[in-house]
Amino acid sequence: MNFANHPYLCKGLIIFKNKINYRVSILGMRIGVRLFGLLLQRV
């Protein structure tokens, strides 16, 4: 399957990847904030 023959599909994949990256980064930030809060409580 050649993606060059399907520009719409290729665009859709890029948008899909960006959405996943966005959600993962938000999850990572939330986890980071929780860990940071735990560290502050221990100090």
Tens-digit pLDDT profile for residues 1-43: 555 567 777 788 899 999 999 999 999 999 999 999 999 998 7
pLDDT of residue 35: 94
Predicted model pTM:
0.55
pLDDT of residue 5: 61
DSSP letter assigned to residue 2: -
Q: How far apart are CA 43 and CA 27, in angstroms?
A: 25
pLDDT of residue 10: 77
Q: How far apart are CA 26 and CA 38, in angstroms?
A: 19
